[in-house]
Amino acid sequence: MSLSLAKRCCEAPLTRRVLQFKMFRRRIQSCNLSYTVWRHRWMKKLPVVTNSSRRMSSHQDKDTVDLSKFPVDRIRNFCIIAHIDHGKSTLADRLLEITGAIAKTEKNKQVLDKLQVERERGITVKAQTASLFYSHQGEQHLLNLIDTPGHVDFSYEVSRSISACQGVLLIIDANQGIQAQTVANFYLAFEAQLTIIPVVNKIDLKNADPERVESQIEKVFDIPREECIRISAKLGTNVEKVLQAVVERIPPPVASTEDPFKALVFDSNFDHYRGVVANIAVFGGRVRKGDKIVSAHLGKTYEVNELGLLRPDEHPTQKLFAGQVGYIIAGMKDVKEAQIGDTLYLQEQPVEALPGFKPAKAMVFAGMYPMDQSEYPGLRSAIERLTLNDSSVTVQRDSSLALGAGWRLGFLGLLHMEVFNQRLEQEYNASVIVTAPTVPYKAVLSSAKLIKEHGSEEITIVNPAQFPERSVVSEYLEPMVLGTILAPDSYTGKIMSLCLNRRAVQKNMVYIDDQRVMMKYLFPLNEIVVDFYDLLKSLSSGYASFDYENAGYQAADLIKMDILLNGRPVEELTTVVHRQRAYSTGKAMCERLKDSIPRQMFEIAVQAAIGSKVIARETIKAYRKNVLAKCYGGDITRKMKLLKKQAEGKKKMRRIGNVEVPKDAFISVLKRKEK
């Protein structure tokens, strides 16, 4: 399926896309706000393409749906939140089946997870919405399920979903118990003051221990164990009870059809044929086809062409009423016109705008370069198409002397970055060099002149080349995160020393039951972006789970480190590091360079330096002999081939002074290490 998606995508008019991409880039450049996300769409790739069989089934009751029959008190808006693999999507499948939104077949697996990467990784990246009809105590109810991503990288997505909801299903694996993301997601819902229904899933598993999980829930979340519902989403056990709880425990939305029309845009996506499709939650009044509506943000007026429910496929209706969730198509030509968090109202009845969302800020940056410069146009259009579907990625053009033209992309977090790369490779078949991730630092300027130049006292530094000198700066700041680690207590010691090594400060440590510990640490983000998670997983034999939330900026002793080859700085290897980490980082970079720069006819000093002070050095010894002492017996073909290959490679080498550095050397130093 996803193959055919990609194919269709490719066939769509290219010029149009290029045009859009250019506009997008120009905007970024002119505003100089690379970290601000203006439009936000974690969206399915092509909403028009759907499974035909599902469309058929929804078609039957197309005309029978009269949404006016669902007053606000018979509407429930909820979402499902869970740690990865705790069964959120499986439960969603069952709910869809029970309520007849999809036919009950063996094939229903992660129906809402449409991306290949979602299915492969068992995660949800893109929120999806499905309206369900459920009869409870003789009354038809409209249940709006908003599927959410499981990972906090996508917590922006989660909070958007949550804002349209009044309650959440918090799924916890009966075997694994509370995990780091369970905690993070719980707090998102808790802070939004939503009703939380704990659901203990996978009770059919041999090692399931719902008792223990329920006591964890009681202890960590302060939710009485009696409120937990034990289910097996896989087998369908007790899933009906979940639906009952949704109706009984979650309050209906506070909205009145009597009020003027007022709707929150909580998601949007772009369709090449119909323009922008906005997902909205109606907070008051009603809207119908032909209505003239206004975007509060832009003040622009549109006519509603189409609207309806998502079941989960688009299902047109005549009207949408207060408390309901659905989609709307109103001739918006550009995703920027349907900004997430924007309020829509009727032209003749202006209302006060709803509080919008904070734009998500990119927290992890990585360079992306084509393997070969000839692949640049292909990669450009792939990135362009992907960002059209995932606008939380910021894109800046960048170029490296070693790697050529490329981009510097900003992501919400590590998983976000990985998912993006994987989609790039899978869906667009693009092979890319991805550099090791970096974080955005800040500097508080002390020089009046510079402040005037930048227009502010505080500047954000994404590229080490822009790192201002210590003399003009009163303070450097680095981004911090609050990390939550859950693990069996036997690993506590190892985990604590790992965290200490990463300049982390322990904030909290509690036993959530007699074996499992929950630790909270304040980390510099930079310390966890590269390999922290992998190390944590391996030292805990895979038992530890980790999650983090952003925790602002803190003053840090940052310095710029240069890498020198025979005394000449290598521009693309300049790095911003914490003073404490300068030596170890510099040493590691020198070692990697030493291993990847071939010996040459002279000695090469590989040095890491701060200012004029060299802090680490490796030496690549000169070749003393490099000639094949062999009789060829006339067989020189192989030798010629090898020499010609070397000559070919020589042309592509980057010269630093008289040192020839192959592209591979840069890649091995800059690239994220393979797991």
Tokens at 72, concatenated = 């606000």
Question: Which is closer to another protein, CB of 69 or CB of 621?
Answer: 621
Q: Does residue 147 have a known ligand-binding role?
A: yes
Q: Is residue 83 marked as binding?
A: yes
State the nearest-atom distance from the C-beta of 638 to another protein, in Å.
10
86 is in an annotated binding site: yes
End-to-end Cα spacing for the chain: 29
DSSP state of 628: -
Is the Cβ of residue 471 or residue 637 nearer to another protein in the bound state? 637
Structure tokens at 477: 């700041």
- Looking at 64, 647, 674, 675, which residue binds another protein (CB under 8 A)? 647
String of contacts with another protein for each residue 604-643, x by CB under 8 A: -----------------x-xxxxxxxxxxxxxxx-xx--x
Q: In degrees, to the nearest 5, what angle opens at C-alpha 664 toward C-alphas 659 and 668? A: 105
Neighbours of 631 (CB within 10 A): 7
Least distance (Å) between residue 647 CB and another protein:
4
Angle at 113 between CA 112 and CA 114, to 5 degrees: 100
201 annotated as a binding-site residue: yes
Sign of the dihedral defined by the CA atoms of residues 584, 589, 595, 601, in that order: negative
Comparing CB distances to another protein, the nearer of 206 and 625 is 625
Task: CB nearer to another protein: give 226 or 631.
Answer: 631
CB of 617 to another protein, least distance (A): 20
Cα separation of 73 and 87, whole Å? 29
Is 89 annotated as belonging to a binding site? yes
Sequence letter at residue 661: V
DSSP codes, 71-104: -GGGEEEEEEEESTTSSHHHHHHHHHHHTTSS--
Rounded least distance, CB 564 to another protein, Å: 20
In the complex with another protein, the residue whose CB is nearer, 358 or 652, is: 652
Of 653-672, which residues contact another protein (CB under 8 A)?
658
Residues 395-424 touching another protein, rule: CB under 8 A, are none
- Establish if 650 lies at the interface with another protein (CB under 8 A): yes
User: 140 — phi, psi (to 5°)?
Assistant: -75, 130
Q: Is 566 annotated as a binding residue?
A: no
- Measured from the CB of residue 596, what is the shortest distance to another protein in angstroms? 17
Beta carbon of residue 565, minimum distance to another protein (angstroms, whole number): 16
Rounded to a whole number of angstroms, the minimum distance from the CB of residue 594 to another protein is 15
Q: How far is the CB of 567 from another protein (least distance, A)?
A: 17
Quick one: tokens of 430?
Answer: 């693009």
Q: Establish whether 315 is an annotated binding residue.
A: no
Asked whether 518 and 546 are in contact (CB, 8 A), the reply is no
**Residue 493 annotated as binding site:** no
Least distance in Å: CB of 632 to another protein?
7
Minimum gap (Å) between residue 566 Cβ and another protein: 14
x-marked contacts with another protein along 30-69 as a string, rule CB under 8 A: ----------------------------------------
Separation CA 578–CA 286 (nearest Å): 55
Q: Is 151 annotated as a binding-site member?
A: yes
Residues in region 162-191 near another protein by CB under 8 A: none
Flag whether 594 is marked binding: no
Q: Give the span between the Cα atoms of 392 and 48, in whole angstroms.
A: 22
Sequence-ordered list of residues with C-beta below 8 angstroms from that of 107, at least 6 positions apart, any chain: none
Q: Which of positions 13-32 make contact with another protein (CB under 8 A)? A: none
Residue 571 tokens, joined: 């521009």
Nearer to another protein, 207 or 628 (CB): 628
Give yes or no for residue 290 binding another protein (CB under 8 A).
no
Q: 85 a known binding residue?
A: yes
Tell me how far CA of residue 361 lies from CA of 124, 156, 298, 412, 551, in angstroms.
20, 10, 22, 6, 13
- Calculate Rg over the CA atoms of the chain: 28
b/e burial code for range 129-154 (CB count within 10 A of at least 16 → b): bbbbbbeeeeeebbbbbbbbbbbbbb
Closest distance to another protein from the beta carbon of 375 (Å): 23
Phi, psi of 526 (to 5 degrees): -55, -30
646 binds another protein (CB under 8 A): yes
Q: Least distance in Å: CB of 336 to another protein?
A: 50
Is residue 88 a known part of a binding site?
A: yes
The pair phi, psi for residue 495, each rounded to 5°, is -65, -40
Does the annotation place 149 within a ligand binding site? yes
For the record, the structure tokens of 524 come out as: 């510099």
Residue 652 binds another protein (CB under 8 A): no
Is residue 578 annotated as involved in ligand binding? no
Query: Is the Cβ of residue 12 or residue 636 nearer to another protein in the bound state?
Result: 636
Q: Which residue has the tokens 């606000």?
A: 72
Phi-psi region of 615 (alpha: psi -120 to 50; beta: other; left: phi over 0): alpha
User: Among residues 71 and 662, whose Cβ is nearest to another protein?
Assistant: 662
Q: Are 410 and 34 in contact (CB under 8 A)?
A: yes
Of the pair 511, 623, the CB lying nearest another protein is at 623
Token pair, residue 246, equals: 């949704």
For position 349 contacting another protein by CB under 8 A, the verdict is no
Nearer to another protein, 613 or 625 (CB): 625
DSSP 589-638: HHHHHHHHSPP-SS-EEEEEEETTEEEEEEEEPPPS--------TT--HH
Are 395 and 446 in contact, with CB atoms under 8 Å apart? no
Q: Which of 644, 668, 671, 674 binds another protein (CB under 8 A)?
A: 644
Q: What are phi and psi of 237, to 5 degrees?
A: -60, 125
Closer to another protein by Cβ: residue 236 or 649: 649
Residues binding another protein: what is the number (CB under 8 A)?
29
Residue 253 is assigned to a ligand binding site: no
3-state secondary structure of 248: helix
Beta pairing partners, 143: 76, 132
- Here's the x/- map for another protein, 571-610, by CB under 8 A: it reads as -----------------------------xxx--------
Residues of the binding site for GTP:
82-89, 147-151, 201-204
Binding site for another protein (CB under 8 A): 600-602, 621, 623-637, 639-640, 643-644, 646-647, 649-651, 658
Residues of the binding site:
82-89, 147-151, 201-204
